[in-house]
Chains A and B, each alone.
Chain A
Amino acid sequence: MKKQMAVWLGLACSGLMAPLAQAATTLTVYTALEADQVKDYKEAFEKANPDVELRFVRESTGVITAKLLSEKNNPQADAVWGLAATSLMILDQQGMLQAYAPKGVEKLNKQFVDKANPPKWTGMDVWAATICFNTVEAAKKGLPKPESWADLTKPIYKGQIVMPHPASSGTGYLDVSAWLQMMGEKSGWDYMDKLHVNMAQYVHSGSKPCKMAAAGEYPIGISFEYRGAELKEKGAPIDLVYPKEGLGWDLEATAILKGSKNLAAAKKLADFSVSLTAMQLYEKNYAVLAMPGVAKQNPYIPADYAKRLSKNNFAWAAKNREAILQEWSRRYESKAAPKS
């Protein structure tokens, strides 16, 4: 009896104290990919590289970026798979990325790979701003379908729009950055001032506005195309609107952290990330890929989608990220909530 209890106690304690023992290399990967994508990507990679197990730490873009920056002196991550290129460029400015040219990187569109040689990061796919517009609720409220960013500032949409918070969400930041780039700084902020009046909520993640629109909680959600297409596919009563002024966008990209203790395994991840197998995975979710010729037409995404993307100066967006977020917070967070 006593012996049995001792065994049990030992088991309980070892379970509590010891991290799980693993046979293969465990690679810690930070990501801002959607949760439903992470599962597929992990399976595919581990199938191709049975000796490496991925340990994903998933958070929204802003949180992951902040986490990586705060761990600068004591990096916990080996690699990053699926984080905004603007965020990776900030890490690069801090000298945190390991230069590495993955096998097959030459097959990628040059535009979607870091200019340095060897590159510090490699692109995966493009994700871009999309408005999810709930037709059922809009009909009830008599709201016309918006066609442009400018439409969203019309008084009729007051309290009907949700968008992601740019500090926590990469999708939120690409919107803000694109408005400032397309309209110029002054008119960009003027535009956001007017939009703020109509805004019902700023939410944590880039997916949530579209999910809220799909559930009818608010009829208009500023989100991105993958979530919109996925929800429409599921039967949500939404239309996807691609504003005519141009779509803000960013790249999902991969990088290796300098100082990784599992460099060999991290390189395998970087290699996999630019491979055809991986691109075929990204293709399920996105319409514009870093490797030309892989993408297929998604019924919910327009054929000329790539042409609708706004001009995006990544270096500018990365360099000014902190200042922009500060200004954004000063304007829209510290002042009283606009609604009653």
Chain B
Amino acid sequence: MLSMVWRWLPQRSSVSGEARVAAVLVWLLVLILMLGLGLPLLFIFAKAVQDGDGGFVGLRNLLQVLDSPGLMRACSNSLQLGVTVTALVVPLAFVFAWALLRSRLWGRGLWRQIGLSPLLAPSLMPAISLVYLFGNQGLLKGWLHGGNIYGFWGVVLGELFYTFPHALLIIMTALSAADGRLYEAGRVLGASPLRQFFTITLPGVRYGLVSAALVVLTLVLTDFGVPKVVGGDFNVLAVEAFKQVVGQQNFPRGAVVGLLLLLPAILSCMVERRMARRQQAALTARAQPFSPAASCWRDGVALLLLLAISLLLLSLLGVGVAASFIRYWPYQMDLTLLHYQFDMVDGGGWAAYVNSLQLASATALLGSVLVFVGAYVCEKLPGAALGRGVLRFLAMLPMAVPGLVLGLGYVFFFNHPANPLQGWYGSLGLMVLCCVAHFYTTAHLTAATALKQLDGEFEAVAASLKVPFWVTLWRVSLPVCLPALVDVARFLFVSAMTTLSALIFIMTPEHSLAAVSIITMDDAGDTAAAAAMASLVVLSSAGVSLLLSLLERLLGQRSQRWRRPG
């Protein structure tokens, strides 16, 4: 009896040692996310009720903003823009997704890549292309019949390009979850394809459509790349926040504008939560995957739709790239690499590009490790329940925080004279933290989904075999989830390469970045150089994506063999 107790004791202590490690890990992750996310956000709220010297002024800043006609005009412009773009891009993305998933066209993988290609470019790319296409010296200027691209419709077009892939991804996910039995039943009951579309397809993706609309709305409201380049006199709130903080160094007012921009994001998160609760599982265990029947007529329409939208997307990507090689648009149209000599223009030169590559690589590397460990402790570890709850909340928070707001928070928090980390301000490390925090949610969800597919029994068995969780993590979970992890790394790399909104506020001249330098060059009137830098960003994102896809495939062959039957 006593010997049994003795045998039980050391085992218990080793388990509690493991639990302690787990708890420390959980709280460490909470600490990192608090630093990179929670505290900066709190500082925005604090700054919004202070004057320039840090004294408490209550709602005075807010009232001042509400009282300034320019800002209120920007506010209504932003809303108008957001609603218009959302109303246009959601149907377009739906049509594209429908043509991809509900037809039997050849080369759907390629079409999908084209549809998602805008993800590779900073939002400035379509804006620059628009200037070359429809500007006063644009190729297709005649199409406007004396109209002008600078202003509302120019921004709408640019934002269409920028938000399209985000809407497409969500709607594709919604559309791919279709139950073949419903269509079968519809067909048997004599419903025409049109009727099937309106009574089965559309209701089935309702949730996806609303979700896409909310994401697009938030993206448009907080993007300032497009309005900065083709906005002309059309002022929007996001540009106003930038002007207040960078242009006039009016931090309290910038904080108020930032908070205004946080509102729609929080609102759409709440709506989404409500809808998700009401949404029933679209696919039950008995569902049969839907596979479209052969139909020349339908495939023809799908092909036309895909062609039309792809042409639009590719032209907004391609014209900018092409223009970057032209000596002196529109007077000397010979080809040159002159505009790639970035040292003669503003923005930090080639160093900015190298910085961006470093930033993106570090974000991809450190970010995917952090995200994976975070997802693992959330999904698989018992204990530290409070910490895991906080961690889950923090992991979902970035979805509701526009990059612009996060960047402002970083300025207020990390550049505060009393902050011991102030020396870190302006360093590449801080920018990496900012990027990881900014893109945390999507990465976390990808990793968590992959981990959820693994049976909890692995951990149970490991525990009963007295194998500590880190061994299970290293030997079982990690290899199985590697493809998802590569996906996360790719997402983080491309996002860090193209993002503008958060980093523009915390960048210093030593660490200028490619995406930000595009704005600087355009501000100085060097449009061709801006186009050249944007092309480089697209090229590198595409190159790295391709490399990681190959890696993913290779890993798939090696470590995912067990997934295949036989």
Q: Give residues in A with beta carbon < 8 Å to B.
A: 12, 15-17, 19-20, 35-36, 39, 55-58, 60, 62-63, 66-67, 69-70, 74, 136, 159, 167-168, 200-205, 207-212, 215-218, 234-237, 329, 333-334, 336-339
Say yes or no: is B526 at the interface (Cβ < 8 Å to chain A).
yes
* B427 contacts A19, C-beta separation under 8 Å: yes
Within B523-552, the residues touching A (CB, 8 Å) are 523-527
* B68 contacts A334, C-beta separation under 8 Å: yes
Give 18 pairs: A residue, B residue, CB < 8 Å, sorted on A.
A16-B362, A17-B429, A35-B346, A58-B346, A58-B509, A66-B248, A74-B417, A201-B232, A203-B523, A204-B524, A205-B524, A205-B525, A207-B524, A211-B524, A215-B137, A216-B330, A237-B331, A333-B235
Cα A218 to Cα B149 in complex, Å, equals 13
* A333 contacts B70, C-beta separation under 8 Å: yes
Other than the known A208-B524, A216-B136, A337-B232, what 13 A-B pairs have Cβ atoms closer than 8 Å? A16-B428, A19-B510, A20-B510, A58-B346, A62-B247, A66-B248, A66-B250, A204-B524, A211-B526, A215-B328, A334-B69, A334-B73, A337-B151
Cα A231 to Cα B274 in complex, Å, equals 58
Nearest to B344 among chain A residues (CB) is: A36
Given A16-B362, A215-B330, A339-B233, A35 and B247 touching (CB < 8 A)?
Answer: no
Expressed in whole angstroms, the minimum distance between the Cβ of B133 and any Cβ of chain A is 13
What residues of A have a CB within 8 angstroms of the CB of B248 in the complex? 62, 66, 167
Expressed in whole angstroms, the minimum distance between the Cβ of B239 and any Cβ of chain A is 11
* A66 contacts B247, C-beta separation under 8 Å: yes
Cα A20 to Cα B355 in complex, Å, equals 14
Cα A74 to Cα B249 in complex, Å, equals 14
Q: Give residues in B with beta carbon < 8 Å to A.
A: 52, 68-70, 73, 131, 135-137, 148, 150-151, 232-235, 246-251, 328-332, 343-347, 358, 362, 417, 424, 427-429, 432, 508-510, 523-527
Cα A203 to Cα B347 in complex, Å, equals 17
What residues of A have a CB within 8 angstroms of the CB of B347 in the complex? 35
Nearest to A329 among chain B residues (CB) is: B70
Given A35-B344, A204-B523, A334-B68, A218 and B136 touching (CB < 8 A)?
Answer: yes
What residues of A have a CB within 8 angstroms of the CB of B424 in the complex? 17
* B362 contacts A12, C-beta separation under 8 Å: yes
* B233 contacts A16, C-beta separation under 8 Å: no
* A16 contacts B427, C-beta separation under 8 Å: yes
Expressed in whole angstroms, the minimum distance between the Cβ of A14 and any Cβ of chain B is 10
What residues of B have a CB within 8 angstroms of the CB of A217 in the complex? 131, 135-137
Expressed in whole angstroms, the minimum distance between the Cβ of B149 and any Cβ of chain A is 10
* A202 contacts B233, C-beta separation under 8 Å: yes
What residues of B have a CB within 8 angstroms of the CB of A234 in the complex? 328
From B52, B148, B247, B328, residue with most partner A Cβ within 10 Å: B247
Expressed in whole angstroms, the minimum distance between the Cβ of B557 and any Cβ of chain A is 24
Expressed in whole angstroms, the minimum distance between the Cβ of A267 and any Cβ of chain B is 23
Cα A235 to Cα B328 in complex, Å, equals 9
Cα A37 to Cα B73 in complex, Å, equals 38
Please tell me which one of the listed residues B73, B331, B432, B525 contacts residue A212 in the complex, with CB atoms under 8 A apart.
B525
Nearest to A62 among chain B residues (CB) is: B247
Nearest to A332 among chain B residues (CB) is: B233
* A17 contacts B427, C-beta separation under 8 Å: yes
What residues of B have a CB within 8 angstroms of the CB of A159 in the complex? 148
Please tell me which one of the listed residues B249, B429, B525 contacts residue A203 in the complex, with CB atoms under 8 A apart.
B525
Cα A165 to Cα B531 in complex, Å, equals 23
* A63 contacts B330, C-beta separation under 8 Å: no
Cα A57 to Cα B344 in complex, Å, equals 16
From A202, A215, A336, residue with most partner B Cβ within 10 Å: A215
* B525 contacts A201, C-beta separation under 8 Å: no
What residues of A have a CB within 8 angstroms of the CB of B343 in the complex? 39
* B523 contacts A205, C-beta separation under 8 Å: yes
Cα A27 to Cα B250 in complex, Å, equals 26
* B249 contacts A339, C-beta separation under 8 Å: no
Given A35-B346, A63-B246, A66-B249, A211 and B428 touching (CB < 8 A)?
Answer: no
* B331 contacts A236, C-beta separation under 8 Å: yes
* B247 contacts A167, C-beta separation under 8 Å: yes
What residues of B have a CB within 8 angstroms of the CB of A204 in the complex? 523-524
Cα A15 to Cα B432 in complex, Å, equals 12
What residues of A have a CB within 8 angstroms of the CB of B247 in the complex? 62-63, 66, 167-168
What residues of A have a CB within 8 angstroms of the CB of B525 in the complex? 203, 205, 207-212
Expressed in whole angstroms, the minimum distance between the Cβ of B428 and any Cβ of chain A is 5
Nearest to B415 among chain A residues (CB) is: A74
Nearest to A325 among chain B residues (CB) is: B248
* A201 contacts B233, C-beta separation under 8 Å: yes
Cα A66 to Cα B73 in complex, Å, equals 24
Expressed in whole angstroms, the minimum distance between the Cβ of B513 and any Cβ of chain A is 15
What residues of B have a CB within 8 angstroms of the CB of A16 in the complex? 362, 427-429, 432
What residues of B have a CB within 8 angstroms of the CB of A69 in the complex? 249
* A35 contacts B524, C-beta separation under 8 Å: yes
Please tell me which one of the listed residues A55, A337, A338 contacts residue B510 in the complex, with CB atoms under 8 A apart.
A55
What residues of B have a CB within 8 angstroms of the CB of A55 in the complex? 509-510
What residues of A have a CB within 8 angstroms of the CB of B362 in the complex? 12, 16
* A70 contacts B249, C-beta separation under 8 Å: yes
Cα A250 to Cα B363 in complex, Å, equals 45
Nearest to B519 among chain A residues (CB) is: A204
Expressed in whole angstroms, the minimum distance between the Cβ of B129 and any Cβ of chain A is 15
What residues of A have a CB within 8 angstroms of the CB of B246 in the complex? 63
Cα A234 to Cα B327 in complex, Å, equals 11
Nearest to A210 among chain B residues (CB) is: B525
Please tell me which one of the listed residues A67, A210, A337 contacts residue B249 in the complex, with CB atoms under 8 A apart.
A67
Expressed in whole angstroms, the minimum distance between the Cβ of A200 and any Cβ of chain B is 8
Nearest to B361 among chain A residues (CB) is: A12
Cα A74 to Cα B418 in complex, Å, equals 12
* B136 contacts A136, C-beta separation under 8 Å: no
What residues of A have a CB within 8 angstroms of the CB of B330 in the complex? 215-216
What residues of A have a CB within 8 angstroms of the CB of B234 in the complex? 337
What residues of B have a CB within 8 angstroms of the CB of A19 in the complex? 427, 510
Cα A55 to Cα B509 in complex, Å, equals 8
* B509 contacts A57, C-beta separation under 8 Å: yes
Cα A58 to Cα B68 in complex, Å, equals 30
Expressed in whole angstroms, the minimum distance between the Cβ of B184 and any Cβ of chain A is 54
Nearest to A38 among chain B residues (CB) is: B346
What residues of A have a CB within 8 angstroms of the CB of B68 in the complex? 334
What residues of A have a CB within 8 angstroms of the CB of B329 in the complex? 215
Identify the 8 closest CB pairs spanning chains A and B, nearest first.
A211-B525, A208-B525, A70-B249, A16-B429, A337-B233, A334-B69, A35-B346, A204-B523
Nearest to A337 among chain B residues (CB) is: B233
* B331 contacts A216, C-beta separation under 8 Å: yes
Cα A209 to Cα B509 in complex, Å, equals 25
Cα A40 to Cα B101 in complex, Å, equals 57
Expressed in whole angstroms, the minimum distance between the Cβ of A83 and any Cβ of chain B is 15
Expressed in whole angstroms, the minimum distance between the Cβ of A160 and any Cβ of chain B is 9
Cα A168 to Cα B235 in complex, Å, equals 15
Please tell me which one of the listed residues B137, B428, B509 contacts residue A216 in the complex, with CB atoms under 8 A apart.
B137
Expressed in whole angstroms, the minimum distance between the Cβ of B261 and any Cβ of chain A is 20
Expressed in whole angstroms, the minimum distance between the Cβ of B138 and any Cβ of chain A is 9
Expressed in whole angstroms, the minimum distance between the Cβ of A277 and any Cβ of chain B is 22
What residues of B have a CB within 8 angstroms of the CB of A216 in the complex? 136-137, 330-331
Nearest to A57 among chain B residues (CB) is: B509
Nearest to B523 among chain A residues (CB) is: A204
Cα A39 to Cα B68 in complex, Å, equals 40
Cα A283 to Cα B131 in complex, Å, equals 35
What residues of A have a CB within 8 angstroms of the CB of B417 in the complex? 74
